[in-house]
Amino acid sequence: MTSPSTGTLSPPEAERNDKPLSRRGDRVFAGLARAAGITIMVALAAVFVFLFAEGRSGLSAAEATYRPASDFLRYIGPLVVSTILAACIALLVAVPFAVAIALFISHYAPRSIATPVAYVIDLLAAVPSVVFGLWGGRYLAQFLQPAHVWLSEHLGFLPFFGSPPSPNGRSLFTAGIVLAIMILPIVTAISREVFAQTPRLHEEAALALGATRWEMIRYAVFPYARSGMVSGVMLGLGRALGETMAVAMVLATSPAVTLNIIGTAAPATIASNIALNYKEATPSRQSLLIATGLVLFAVTFLINFVARWVVGRNERKQARA
């Protein structure tokens, strides 16, 4: 076969070839793309293998390793609860905010305001988590302390808002708020992109029926953007579950299991627990911490799969109906 890169039409003998004609550039690019795709899968598998190999002994070590708990499940349980609580607070706070900001940028603000707002939100993503941790622990915690008192007084009947409220504000609640600010940019950026891509035709369909702008957003923008928004929320959730430094610096930790998010102390999250303890840990303790990393890995995967499945099921149901 003659070189396809000459740019001329293929000679007749090429047509007898069973393989479809392909250009060198296409093949090279396809190869690169495939290699990139495979690399990421391999990297993920390698992380899993590492966590499993190094952490396996931490799953069933001597009882002393798990102090103050007595076995692995009792050790990891409070950490998982804290991790999920903090991530839930972050999502509950960040997602409505992010969606509102994204809508403001894509559908409400004039361009002269929307562009700088979008830019500032993106900048927020560039702030290192240590900085958020410093700010959260030293300033925001004190600032939010009165909110802790209020929540404890008015919503104290819920298990999440027990008393006494934290006197310095270094609670899961504050940690969750810091996480919310940290995941806000990614959720906003992705929502904004999918909102802006809503087909004009669908927007006009709603407007021509006499929809107000908000009704148009409900009829045309949200249905179109839903799966993209879920992707954005999942990315934010991943970051909230795995964030280390900010939580480690904000949260006052204690091993006691509690659902109380405004109390004086709460168990660390999995990631911040690793960061706080890894350096001074004995080898057996280190494998234990790696094993908790494995659990975090699994929890993140599980939540993502479940969320995708739920969304996918809704969409499939709609397609079948």
Partner 1 sequence: MAKSIDVSDLNIYYGDFLAVEGVSMTIKAKSVTAFIGPSGCGKSTMLRSLNRMHEVIPGARVEGKVMVDGQSLYGPEVDPVAVRRSIGMVFQRPNPFPTLSIYDNVLAGSRLNSRKLSKSDADGIVERSLKGANLWNEVKDRLGKPGQGLSGGQQQRLCIARAIAVEPEVLLMDEPCSALDPISTSAIEDLIHELKERYTIVIVTHNMQQAARVSDETGFFNLKAAGQPGHLVEFNPTKKMFSNPDEPSTEAYISGRFG
Tell me whether residue 138 or residue 218 sits nearer to partner 1 (CB atom).
218
Q: Which of 10, 96, 215, 310 lies at the binding interface for partner 1 (CB under 8 A)? A: 215
**Least Å distance between CB 205 and partner 1?**
4
Residue 266's SS3 state is strand
State in angstroms the smallest separation of the CB of 212 from partner 1.
5
Q: Which phi-psi region, left, alpha or beta, contains residue 7 (left: φ > 0; alpha: ψ -120 to 50)?
A: left
Phi, psi of 30 (to 5 degrees): -60, -40
With beta carbons less than 8 A apart as the criterion, state whether 78 and 265 touch.
no
Residue number, 97 or 219, with CB nearest to partner 1: 219
Least distance to partner 1, CB of residue 308, Å:
18
* CA 178/CA 237 separation, integer angstroms: 13
Q: Supply the minimum distance, in Å, between the C-beta of residue 203 and partner 1.
A: 8
Binding to partner 1 by residue 172, rule CB under 8 A?
no
Number of residues written out for the chain = 321
Distance of CA 181 to the CA centre of its chain: 12
Q: Is residue 64 close enough to count as binding partner 1 by CB under 8 A?
A: no
Among positions 208, 279, 280, 283, the unique one binding partner 1 when judged by CB under 8 A: 208
Q: Are 86 and 240 in contact (CB under 8 A)?
A: yes
Q: Is 142 helix (H, G, I), strand (E, B) or coil?
A: helix
59 belongs to the binding site for partner 1 (CB under 8 A): no
Q: Which stretch binds partner 1 (CB under 8 A): 31-39, 72-80, 167-175, 208-216?
A: 208-216
Structure tokens at 216: 């148009």
11 binds partner 1 (CB under 8 A): no
Of 113, 209, 298, 310, which one interacts with partner 1 (CB under 8 A)? 209
CB of 56 to partner 1, least distance (A): 47
Query: Which amino acid, one-letter code, is at 169?
Result: G
**Between 226 and 308, CB nearer to partner 1:** 226
Distance CA 273, CA 152 (A): 27
Size of the site for partner 1 (CB under 8 A): 23
Distance in Å, CB of 315 to partner 1, minimum: 9
Residues ≥6 apart with Cβ < 8 Å to 224:
194, 197, 198, 199, 202
Considering only residues 101-160, where is the footprint of partner 1 by CB under 8 A? 110-111
- Return the range that interacts with partner 1 (CB under 8 A); candidates 30-38, 68-76, 215-223, 285-293: 215-223
Task: Note whether 98 and 188 are within 8 A (CB).
Answer: yes
Which position among 142, 204, 302, 312 is part of the footprint of partner 1 (CB under 8 A)? 204
Compute, in degrees rounded to 10, the torsion defined by CA atoms 204, 210, 212, 217. Answer: -40
- Evaluate the CA torsion angle 305, 309, 310, 315 in order and state its sign: positive
Q: Is 220 in the site for partner 1 (CB under 8 A)?
A: yes
Quick one: CA dihedral 255, 256, 261, 265, positive or negative? negative
Asked if 202 is part of the footprint of partner 1 (rule: CB under 8 A), the reply reads: yes
Q: Is 164 in the site for partner 1 (CB under 8 A)?
A: no
**How many other CB atoms are found less than 10 A from the CB of residue 77?**
14
In whole angstroms, the minimum distance from the beta carbon of 91 to partner 1 comes to 24
Binding site for partner 1 (CB under 8 A): 110-111, 199, 201-212, 215, 219-220, 223-224, 318-319, 321
